[in-house]
């Protein structure tokens, strides 16, 4: 159960036995980015085909949150794990676009798209 006093929280789920989803909510900034880096470190592993980071519940995505995503993507690349970001809300998309990271990450518009990608 996520800590209700935390600025950000991550709930871990699976859409396939080898596909982990990290549902992120709240504000990802300097004080809370470890809420994402910790599960990324745990789940970006060769036994997983993909890690999906769902930013649907993110209200603010600061530079530390962006850094956590970049480091997660780099680790995934080294491990041969596909790294996908789900983002459709402005709070998540705008920082990704402003920094050019929208051309670095595979970005899907919904969890339905992610589910189709990995369950069909």
Q: Identify any residues that bridge with 57 across adjacent strands, giving them in sequence order.
A: 25
For the domain bounded by 15-110, which CATH number is listed?
3.30.750.24
pTM of the model: 0.93
pLDDT tens-digit profile, the chain (120 residues): 455 557 899 999 999 999 999 999 999 999 999 999 999 999 998 889 999 999 999 999 999 999 999 999 999 999 999 999 999 999 999 999 999 999 999 999 999 999 999 987
Q: Could you tell me where the beta strands, DSSP code E, fall in 40-88?
A: 50-61, 82-86
pLDDT digits (tens, 9 = 90+) for 7-21: 899 999 999 999 999
Token pair belonging to 2: 């996520």
State whether residue 65 is helix, strand or coil. helix
Q: How far apart are CA 82 and CA 73, in angstroms?
A: 8
């Amino acid at each position: 159960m996520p800590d209700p006093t935390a600025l950000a929280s991550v709930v871990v789920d699976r859409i396939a036995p080898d596909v982990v989803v990290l549902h992120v909510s709240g504000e990802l900034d300097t004080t809370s980015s470890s809420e994402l880096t910790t599960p990324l470190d745990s789940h970006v592993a060769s036994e997983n085909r993909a890690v999906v980071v769902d930013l649907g519940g993110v209200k603010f995505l600061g530079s530390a949150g962006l850094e956590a995503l970049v480091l997660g993507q780099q680790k995934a690349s080294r491990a041969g794990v596909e790294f996908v970001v789900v983002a459709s809300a402005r709070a998540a998309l705008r920082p990704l676009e402003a920094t050019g990271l929208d051309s670095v990450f595979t970005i899907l518009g919904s969890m339905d798209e992610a589910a189709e990608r990995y369950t069909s």
